[in-house]
């Protein structure tokens, strides 16, 4: 099996890493390019770009990154620049490939390989492996999806994965002393980062940097409550925007004990784009605060209880907890 030492600090996603390892090993042994790879997850910041970089490092390849939308001329220029790379695998990385859904013909030509049509003429191109990332795989045409023969699944990170990821960020940013617990255990701050980041490594990194900033500002290690108040997040990852969404349902759409609103109404009241709204809802659905019914978005019992709790806190009827809810 191919050496995976480049993945030593890529925590979690064991099934994904094994699938990639097998395909990379097979490509190396057959002396053929790695099949095209699609890295898809419902959330940004899940580790897709990091996985793409490690694929290229593992195979000792060369990669050019393209950010959509881009023209055929830009793609052709990128491919031509790789013609001189003969002894190494060639990779094109397309970030957020769903933004190219209107350029499916160009994508198909790239994925099929051999040639591109630019301004009506056929241009031969060197063989490359396309690695693409997306948060919206369903936005891609089926014909494009079918050209990606390797589509590993991202799974939710465990708490231990997130603790490891948070500590790795801290090491990288020279602030690991803030997160050292007693007896080699994870500190309360590190556990708070893991529980508030909504299973998204990028957010774990942002929270590590927030704690580092607080430590400099206070000239001491901040408490968990100070961290939560500073980033305005509850201990289970509910943010100010999530609260605003849920409270909009709770305060404006109660009928017969139910809290239901049409998606279009919520979009207008929250002034969110459709993409922004879907990202808010992704977490709230996953954690059981809302559900999507035939009549619209509805608060679950768990969501109602959280909103009622916030009301009591706002009215000073109950105190804020040590760990914010």
> Given this model, what pLDDT does residue 127 score?
85
How many angstroms separate the Cα of 315 from the Cα of each of 162, 233, 246, 318, 319? 35, 19, 18, 8, 9
Is there a single domain that holds both residue 219 and residue 164?
A: yes
Count of domains for the chain:
3
226 plus 283 within the same structural domain:
no
- Tell me if 120 is assigned to some domain: yes
Q: Are 25 and 137 found together in one domain?
A: yes
**Closest residue by Cα to residue 173 from 207, 141, 197:** 207
Same domain for 252 and 287, yes or no, is yes
pLDDT greater at residue 261 or residue 202: 202
Whole-angstrom distance, CA of residue 234 vs CA of residue 231 = 9
pTM: 0.87
Of 231, 261, 291, which marks where a domain is finished? 231
CATH (domain of 170): 1.10.8
203 and 128 housed in the same domain: no
pLDDT digits (tens, 9 = 90+) for 69-101: 888 889 888 888 887 777 899 999 999 999 987
Residue-number span of the structural domain to which 105 is assigned: 5-147
Residues 89 and 108 in one domain: yes
**Beta strand ranges found along the chain (DSSP E):** 37-40, 62-66, 90-94, 115-118, 121-124, 129-134, 254-255, 258-261, 290-293, 296-299
pLDDT of residue 44 exceeding 80, the answer is yes
pLDDT digits (tens, 9 = 90+) for 114-155: 777 777 777 888 889 999 999 989 889 999 999 999 999 999
- For the domain that residue 292 is a member of, what is the CATH number? 1.10.10.10
Give the number of residues written for the chain: 325
Are residues 67 and 184 located together in one domain of the fold?
Answer: no
Q: How far is CA 72 from the centre of its chain?
A: 28
């Amino acid at each position: 099996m191919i050496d995976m030492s480049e993945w030593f600090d890529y925590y979690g996603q064991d099934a994904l890493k094994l699938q990639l390892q097998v395909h990379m090993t097979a490509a190396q042994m057959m002396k053929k390019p790695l099949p095209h790879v699609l890295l898809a997850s419902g959330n940004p910041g899940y580790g897709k770009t990091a996985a793409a970089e490690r694929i290229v490092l593992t195979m000792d390849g060369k990669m050019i990154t393209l950010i959509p939308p881009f023209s055929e001329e830009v793609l052709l220029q990128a491919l031509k620049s790789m013609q001189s790379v003969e002894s190494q695998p060639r990779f094109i990385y397309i970030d957020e490939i769903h933004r190219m859904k209107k350029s499916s013909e160009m994508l198909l030509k790239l994925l099929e390989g051999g040639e591109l049509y630019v301004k009506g003429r056929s241009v031969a191109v060197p063989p490359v492996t396309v690695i693409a990332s997306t948060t919206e795989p369903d936005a891609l045409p089926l014909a494009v999806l079918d050209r990606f023969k390797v589509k590993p699944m991202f799974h939710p990170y465990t708490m231990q994965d997130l603790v490891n990821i948070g500590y790795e960020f801290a090491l990288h940013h020279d602030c690991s002393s803030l997160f050292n617990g007693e007896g080699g255990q994870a500190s309360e701050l590190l556990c708070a980062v893991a529980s508030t980041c909504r299973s998204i490594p990028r957010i774990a990194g942002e929270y590590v940097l927030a704690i580092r900033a607080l430590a400099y500002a206070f000239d001491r290690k901040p408490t968990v409550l100070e961290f939560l108040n500073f980033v305005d997040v509850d201990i289970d990852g509910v943010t100010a925007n999530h609260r605003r969404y849920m409270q909009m349902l709770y305060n404006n759409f109660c009928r017969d004990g139910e809290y239901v609103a049409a998606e279009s109404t919520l979009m207008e009241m929250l002034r969110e784009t459709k993409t922004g709204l879907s990202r808010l809802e992704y977490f709230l659905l996953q954690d059981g605060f809302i559900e999507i019914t035939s009549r619209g978005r509805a608060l679950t019992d768990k969501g109602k209880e959280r909103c009622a709790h916030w009301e009591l806190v706002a009215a000073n009827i109950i105190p804020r907890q040590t760990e914010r809810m």
